[in-house]
Amino acid sequence: MLIRIQNILFPREDICKETNLYYRHPSKQFGSQLILPQNQTISFDTYFNSFSIEKWKEYTIIENLSLNLNVTGKCRIDLYEATLINGEVHARLLLSKDTNFQETEITLSFPEIQSLHGICYFTVTSDDEPCKITDGFYGTEINSESINRVKIGIGICTYKREQFILKNLKAIQDTILDNPESELRDNLEIIVSDNGETLQNYNYSHPKIKIFPNINAGGSGGFTRCMIEAIKAQEDLNLTHFLLMDDDIVLDPAVLTRTYKLLQLLRKEHQGKLLGGAMLKIEKPDEQLEYGARRSSNLNKKWIIQNNYNFNLSNFFYVLKNDLTRTILPEYNAWWFCCIPFKLVKPNNLPLPLFIHGDDIEYGCRTGNKIILINGIAVWHSFQNKYTPSIVYYDTRNRLITSIIRDPSTNTTTYQLLKFISANYISFVCRYMYNDWDFFSFAIKDLCKGAKFFQEADPIQLHFSLMKSAETKRKTCEGLPRRFLSEERIEKTYQKMQDFTISQKILLMCSILNAFSPLGKWAPICANNLCFQSLLGHNFIVWKNAENTTEGICLKKSPIKAVRAFFDMLALQLLIVRKWNKIKKEFIAAAPELTSLEFWEHYLKLKE
């Protein structure tokens, strides 16, 4: 039987207007069809409409491939194979077919797929009259008994983002759940954790969508609530996979269908792997932020190493490079779109209660399975830095807890942590980010209170106190010159400390004396990372807001606060010398309980 395995997608104004992600042609056309003027060529060597034959051969059981198009008018259809050779794009024509006015449903079979490499795509060239493309898909002939049974549960955590979550639910409902032609219709269930307890005001209901009011226990609490409800209902739902998905993404429901088709055809040896979705930027829809990621176990390096960061996917070179090469071997996928085999979602294998930031990192690394990533499975998400000093608390605490559990005897020694504290002191104080240092110090002190304190802490009360403190200490400046606010300029001009040479680090250490000097220039500079200064230094303006705004956070130098933070750093280091080894043992021993159903039911107050 012939089955659709990847539909040809057309750009939609309500989802993505970047036509180069769908087709290459000067015209901008949206909707359910494309009209090609006479004697012109349209190419589908694009992110969403090329076919990743290399990945499909590796991961699935397909043995043949065909292109199926609905075309009106005379045209020529060309099939191509493209790959990278020595860093250059090499395309090879595989097959051509001329159509006539009588033909509307065209099927072209690719040559033996074992001989194909890289990515396949097609072009359509019109004749002396315009032609119209109304539908298309890549298909395969396969024995129906070979298809895997797949039923996906989607878990969405939301907190007062009604405009996003309701739009996405409505799109899924219209395209899949209420669409009798959708293959996924009877194989999809949705569970929503409403951490803000506000969706009940909208009277939204659907038999396939279950919404559960939940306490605001952060992303980890919301996604875990979804897992718990799925576990409890598994006897009735009979799920094979669980897809964790953010509430504030832009989603094309066709991506869910693509996910379903890929899972149906996975080889047995790959059926236990996670399937990850890439994150494209809402602000720059053709630019990729992340294609799977890796955690750095070295506390004094950047925590997250993103795969294929900032790839411009409107360029076919990067479409090929995205699928055929990787800068790192990913070990987890963020929860904006991460599909997990349901057998891994167990009552004794739930996420850690980290509130926000790092819950997907720890859980993804813990599952220990490789990740399947493939072009065309992606969502759009805002990439702007949603900075608040309270995030420093969560990042610091959660990174150390994750490191304790994942690297108990290697990179979490007392010596490594002392270096970590010293480096962060330098980073914050040299940028006059005294409030951020306070939140960093607060995280270390809370961690040193032990695993029992962490278990029993009220997440709502803690988060409220952090946010309240952050609001009172934050001072924003408006009307800043845009030259201070260019992310590209900042990253290029001001390096990160770990990227410095030894001589540069020595010069940097000398310039640190500026932080303790009462003298200074009042001319502002902008720096997100450590940078060199004269001994007089400047009054910093540190850009932490959205890229297209003229707002920043104004930070004034205070030698008194720098000295106070210095003594706080010494006290932290003394605390670590005294307690760190004991704290590590406590968290390692507590980890099984912290990831258990019994703990989470108490933590989320589900039995009250």
- Out of 2.60.40, 3.30.70, 2.60.120, 1.20.120, which CATH number does the structure's domain 2-144 have? 2.60.120
Name beta bridge partners: 70. Answer: 105, 135
How many Cα atoms within 13 Å fall on the side-chain side of residue 35? 6
pLDDT of residue 516: 81
Strands 274-276 and 105-109: unpaired
Ranges for all domains in the chain classified under CATH 2.60.120: 2-144
- Out of 3.40.50.300, 3.30.2130.10, 3.90.550.60, 1.20.58.220, which CATH number does the structure's domain 152-381 have? 3.90.550.60
Q: What stretch of H or E contains 28?
A: none
All residues at 6 or more sequence positions from 504 whose CB lies less than 8 Å from its CB, including other chains: 495, 532
C-alpha closest to that of 365 among 332, 405, 333, 407: 332
Show the low-confidence residues of the chain (pLDDT under 50).
482-487, 489-497, 523-532, 534-535, 544-546, 548
pLDDT of residue 489: 46
Name the DSSP class of 174: I
| pLDDT tens-place string over residues 558-602 | 889 999 999 999 999 999 999 999 999 999 999 999 999 999 999
The answer to whether 601 and 607 have CB atoms below 8 angstroms apart is: yes
| pLDDT tens-place string over residues 188-235 | 999 999 999 999 889 899 999 999 999 999 999 999 999 999 999 999
| CB-neighbour burial class of residue 462 (10 A; exposed 0-12, middle 13-18, buried 19+) | middle
pLDDT of residue 433: 82
The answer to whether 495 and 529 have CB atoms below 8 angstroms apart is: yes
Ranges for all domains in the chain classified under CATH 3.90.550.60: 152-381
Backbone angles phi, psi at 41, to 5 degrees: -120, 135
| Residue in the block written with tokens 């589900």 | 606
Residue 337 CA: distances (Å) to CA of 121, 251, 349, 472, 569: 26, 10, 19, 35, 39
C-alpha closest to that of 384 among 469, 289, 301: 289
Cα–Cα dist 388/393, whole Å? 10
| Residue in the block written with tokens 């630019």 | 287
C-alpha closest to that of 419 among 278, 303, 573, 267: 573
State the angle between helix axes of 434-447 and 414-430 in degrees (0 to 180), rounded to the nearest 10.
160
The tokens for 125 are 């060239």
| Residue in the block written with tokens 């420093």 | 392
C-alpha closest to that of 380 among 504, 290, 501: 290
C-alpha closest to that of 290 among 267, 325, 322: 322
Name the DSSP class of 177: I
pLDDT of residue 558: 86
The tokens for 467 are 């946010």
All residues at 6 or more sequence positions from 560 whose CB lies less than 8 Å from its CB, including other chains: none
Cα–Cα dist 379/154, whole Å? 14
The answer to whether 191 and 281 have CB atoms below 8 angstroms apart is: no
Three-state DSSP at 67 gives strand
In whole angstroms, how large is the CA radius of gyration of the chain? 27
All residues at 6 or more sequence positions from 45 whose CB lies less than 8 Å from its CB, including other chains: 24, 80, 82, 91, 119, 121, 123, 316, 319
Three-state DSSP at 213 gives strand
The answer to whether 50 and 121 have CB atoms below 8 angstroms apart is: yes
The answer to whether 24 and 313 have CB atoms below 8 angstroms apart is: no
Compute the CA torsion angle 305, 386, 291, 251 (nearest 10 deg).
170
Three-state DSSP at 184 gives coil
| pLDDT tens-place string over residues 231-252 | 999 999 999 999 999 999 999 9
How many Cα atoms within 13 Å fall on the side-chain side of residue 251? 29
| pLDDT tens-place string over residues 318-347 | 999 999 988 888 999 999 999 999 999 999
Cα–Cα dist 263/250, whole Å? 22
Q: What are the DSSP calls for 496-515, one per residue?
A: -GGGS-HHHHHHHHHHGGGG
Strands 241-246 and 152-158: parallel
Cα–Cα dist 28/115, whole Å? 35
pLDDT of residue 551: 57
The dihedral built from the CA positions of residue 320, 326, 329 and 332, taken in this order, carries a sign that is: negative
What end-to-end distance do the CA atoms of the chain give, in Å? 53
All residues at 6 or more sequence positions from 304 whose CB lies less than 8 Å from its CB, including other chains: 293, 294, 295, 296, 361
Backbone angles phi, psi at 546, to 5 degrees: -60, 150
pLDDT of residue 521: 58
C-alpha closest to that of 169 among 215, 203, 119: 203
The dihedral built from the CA positions of residue 162, 163, 165 and 170, taken in this order, carries a sign that is: positive
